[in-house]
Structures are given as C-alpha cells and as structure tokens.
Amino acid sequence: MTDYNTVVKTIPVTRTGDVITMGVTSAVWARLHAPVTPPLPIGKPFLPSAEHVKDDRFLQLYPQTRRSQGDIAHKAFEEGSHPQMVEGISSPTRGANVTDLFSPYQLGSLKLTNRLVMAPLTRNRAGAGEAPTELAAEYYAQRAGAGLIISEGTQPCAIGQGYPHTPGLHTDEQVAGWTLVADAVHARGGRIVAQLMHAGRISHHAITGLRPVAPSAITPAGEVYTEQGMKAFEAPRALEAAELPGVVAEFVDAARRAVRAGLDGVELHAANGYLLQQFLADGSNIRTDGYGGSPQNRARFVVEVATAVAQAIGADKVGIRISPGGTFNNVTETETEQTYTALLDALNPLGLLYLHILEGPDTSFHEQLRKQWDGTVMFNTGFTGSSDLSTAQEAIDTGATDLFCIGRGFLANPDLVERLRIGAGLNKPDMETFYSGGAKGYTDYPVLSA
Ligand SMILES: Cc1cc2nc3c(=O)[nH]c(=O)nc-3n(C[C@H](O)[C@H](O)[C@H](O)COP(=O)(O)O)c2cc1C
C-alpha cells in the first residue's frame, strides 16, 4: 500500500517549460490543459501556496481547493495519467479538510471505511426457496472492502419477483440465507443493505406463477427473460386503491426481515422502471385516484412506502434509489422535474439514510436534486457514463455527491477499492456470467494478492 506521507518516487519531466501541479485530481488536471501560474516546481515535492489555490481555474473546477489548501491530492500521481505527474508525495496536512474517496464517511449510524459503494447487481443465483446461499455470502464477503454494499434487487413478496432465481425477503428461509450474507460481510468489516425491488409489471407469470401487478393496466413494450426463454411482457393487472396498503405492508415486512437477518438496512428501488417508478412515471401511471394525475399524486405511493418502512425499522436504515428521466424497462416520464421535486419535498422530512440518484442525460437536474436533498447523496452513472476512478474522484472532490456507487467494477473486482487506491489494473467483467454461471464469474474473479 502506498504511504502518501512519504515521497515514494518522482517521474522525470521531459518537456521543458511545462508545469506540474498537485492538489488537484488528474481529471481536473486533464481539463486545465494550460499552465497554472505561478509555475510550480518540476519534479519536486511542493506544497501549494495560497497563490496557487486562488487560481480561478482551480476554484472553478475544484471548489474544495480553498479548503484543501496545504494538502496535496494524491490521485493524480497515483493514476499516473499525466507524464508530468510527480508520484507519491504528500503533505503534513493530508486529509485535514479534504473530501477523499478513500476516507471514512459517517452514514447515519454506519461508519463507512470509504466512499465507494457497491451498486445493486442482480446475479440470479439464489438457492432453494429463492434464498441466498453460502456462495452468495462468499461473493458479498469478498467485496466487503466497499464502503457500503447494496445487495442485488430482492423481492419483498412473491409477485414482486422480476427474474428467475433472484432472492426474496418474505420467508424465514430467505432470512436465514441473508443472515449468512450479513454475518460474512460484517466479519470482514463491511456494511450491507438489501435493495427491495418489486418488479411490478416487469415480471411474468412464467417466473412467479402470478399475473403481474402495476399502477395501471399498461403492458410495457419488450421481453422478459424466463427459464422458458424470452417472453413478451404480459398485460399487468392495475392495483386497486384498497390493495395498496397491503403492498406497503409487504415492503415493511421485508424491511423487518432484512433487519432480523442482521443487514444494515434497506434501499427502496424506485428506479429503472420497476413498481415504484411505475407509480412515479406518467407513462405507466394513468390512475385517476389519489395515486395518479399530478406529480404529488404519482409520488404518493413511493412516499407511503418510504414512510411506513422508515417507521418500522428507523429512517436511518432506509435509503432510496431513483432514476429521474430514466427510460429503462419502457417507462416514460413527461413531468420529471415536477415529480421528483415533489417526491423529495415529501421524503426530506423523513430523514432517510441516503438518496441514490442514477444519472441520466439531464445532469443539471441531478445537481438541483442534490441541492434539494437534506441528507446524504449517492451517485451512480446508471450506464450513462464512466464509473472510473477519476470520475468518482471528481464527483466527490467537487461535492457533486457524498458517495459514489460502482456496479460492474465491483462485480469483476472483489478488491476494487484497494485496486483503485493503489492504481492497479482492473479485471474486466464477463457479461456471459452476469446472470448465471454458479461460482464462475461470481466468486472466482482474482484479487491482487492471489
Ligand atoms: C449484472 C447487472 C445487474 C444489475 N442489477 C441491478 C439491480 O438488481 N438493481 C438495480 O437497481 N440496478 C441493477 N443494475 C444496475 C447497476 O446498479 C448500475 O446502475 C449499473 O451497472 C451502472 O453502473 P456501472 O457503470 O458502475 O456498472 C445491474 C447492472 C448489472 C450490470
């Protein structure tokens, strides 16, 4: 492991007239492109002076710079992404007031060892009774170096299952399986919450034996994977208003079971076109009762679920994932801004553990939501951009988010945090084994020391 408080090595600078800089990440450096003034010493350790950190370009791109004055960010030379980087130099004040991807973060009552979060990843490897197995416990324990793990989407009730062999949290057998997982992750010093995912209309009777339910009887376009092959989505049944408290109760029961299993909390999956987003989106919710018709009404069911779950297990054990404007699973939203603003207005007073935003095309709207949210924010690219180190570092450094969530990087690299910390290469994810394959592509990705 690199000790940043010592000078490890310097890389000779070959071009004269160039300047080097530290105290910024390589992402920021790469975007500066021009020398900063006054020029910085070449190939030598240095401490940025007040003059350097007052440079407009620093402040524009790196708002924390003023506060981090005197410290030297380390990622730039760790990544070695610029030939003029000096490697392995630090300052006496490292970490003083600086937001660092690898520094601890207090999330509610959970002390996270770093700010990198493992994204929820469906892996379709549940055992008998759709319960997590010893193998799942091993898989999650291998990834306990994440600041926080969010489990794969987990159905709170049988009809909420969206894919074959996804785990549930509605039977005692499943609680026993999750207990294996929670114990294994905790034994390695990790933290883990269960993502509660009710698929709604993105399900199929070939998976559950039941006709899918939804806010409105609108069949999504597309196909779903079943054990009998791909099948067209089928027409869902619109939930009666009188049934909704029962669905809320299923979320509450699953959350209680998550806590009973020893998990650190739950994440409500209100993203990616599953049941909760189906309520938020006007393309899938054309209800004429109190749960449809206006942004506030479309947000109502999600707020009711969040409120009830928070009351049952404590708001500091409940996070929520949203994908404003996302179109995955054939959802369409026309009043995105109004709907999510209304949602956050109603959720803010609950004091939830975190808000998890999947980025979409409109990143300025995410900045607005970040400002609107009173608590911790977590970002994931939602497949729209890169989850690499410099993106994560910049998102944290600029204060765009508090925590950064990575999916495929963790899938393929059990020791992702350590690899990023020391700038090691990464294993590539094997798509063939994303959704099947037993231990292959699940627990057999190599770690650095292996
Ligand atoms: C194999 C796989 C399974 C996924 N399963 C889920 C899931 O269960 N719940 C969810 O909210 N997102 C799921 N996602 C989306 C990821 O959480 C994440 O948003 C996505 O991988 C983009 O992040 P990345 O670029 O860091 O991989 C899945 C993604 C992949 C690749």
- Structural domain boundaries in the chain: 1-98, 105-433
Atom 2 of ligand 1, nearest CA residue: 121
CA distance 203 to 156: 14
Q: d(Cα 80, Cα 239) in Å, to the nearest integer?
A: 55
Nearest one of 68, 136, 140 to 99, comparing CA atoms: 68
Q: Which distant-in-sequence residues (6+ apart) come within 8 Å of 166 by Cβ?
A: 122, 124, 126, 130, 152, 153, 154, 155, 197
- Distance from residue 16's CA to the centre of ligand 1 (Å): 45
Of 396, 327, 398, nearest to 361 by C-alpha is: 327
> Distance, CA 272 to ligand 1 centroid (Å)?
10
Residue among 337, 329, 332 nearest 366 (CA):
337
Q: What is the mean pLDDT of each run of 10 residues along the chain (450 residues)?
A: 28 30 32 38 43 42 34 37 30 38 92 97 98 98 98 98 98 98 98 98 96 98 92 97 98 98 98 98 98 98 98 98 94 95 98 94 83 95 84 81 96 95 89 96 91
Question: Active site residue: 274, 291, 340, 354, which one?
Answer: 274
pLDDT for res 99: 52
274 is catalytic: yes
Pocket test for ligand 1, best of 122, 356, 388, 411 (most atoms within 8 A of CB): 122
On whether the CB atoms of residues 185 and 141 are closer than 8 A, the answer is: yes
Contact residues for 164 (Cβ-Cβ < 8 A; gap 6+) = 124, 207, 225, 226, 227
d(CA 5, CA 44): 15
Q: Which long-range contacts (CB under 8 A, 24 or more apart) does 232-236 make?
A: 233/201, 233/202, 233/204, 233/330, 234/204, 234/205, 236/200, 236/201, 236/211, 236/212
Spatial distance between the Cα atoms of 58 and 367, rounded to a whole number of angstroms: 20
Q: Which of 404, 385, 405 is nearest to 394 (CA)?
A: 404
| Among the four given CATH numbers 3.20.20.70, 3.40.605.10, 3.40.50.720, 3.40.720.10, the one describing domain 105-433 | 3.20.20.70
Which atom of ligand 1 is nearest the CA belonging to 434?
1
Atom of ligand 1 nearest to the CA of 435: 1
d(CA 266, CA 195): 6
Q: How remote is the CA of residue 383 from the centroid of ligand 1, in Å?
A: 8
In this structure, are residues 279 and 301 in contact, taking their beta carbons and an 8 Å threshold? yes
Quote the distance between the C-alpha of residue 412 and its chain's center: 16
Determine which helix (DSSP H) or strand (DSSP E) holds 229, and give its type and residue range. strand 229-232
> In a mutational test of the pocket of ligand 1, which residue from 408, 428, 435 has the highest number of ligand atoms less than 8 Å from its CB?
408
Q: Tell how far CA 308 is from the center of its chain.
A: 23
Q: Where are the beta strands (DSSP E) in 309-410?
A: 318-322, 354-358, 377-380, 403-406
Note the pLDDT of residue 43: 39
Distance 362 CA to ligand 1 centre (A): 19
Cα of 434 vs centre of ligand 1, distance in Å, is: 10
Taking the whole predicted model, whether its pTM rises above 0.85 is answered as no
Residue type, 28: V
Pocket of ligand 1, candidates 356, 383, 442: which has the most ligand atoms within 8 Å of its Cβ, to mutate? 383
pLDDT at 400: 86
What DSSP character marks residue 269?
E
Find, among 1, 4, 16, the residue nearest to 86 by Cα: 4
User: Contact 50/44 with Cβ under 8 angstroms?
Assistant: no
CA distance readout (Å), 10 to 1, 82, 91, 136, 172: 17, 12, 15, 43, 57
Contact between 214 and 243 under an 8 Å Cβ cutoff? The reply is no
Given its phi and psi angles, is residue 88 left (phi above 0), alpha (psi -120 to 50 degrees) or beta?
A: left
Contact 308, 248 (CB under 8 A): yes
- Name every protein residue with a CB atom under 6 angstroms from any ligand 1 atom: 119-122, 152-153, 195, 197, 269, 271-272, 321, 358, 380-383, 387, 406-409, 434
- With contact defined as beta carbons under 8 Å apart, do 410 and 387 qualify? no
Looking at residue 100, what is its pLDDT?
Answer: 75
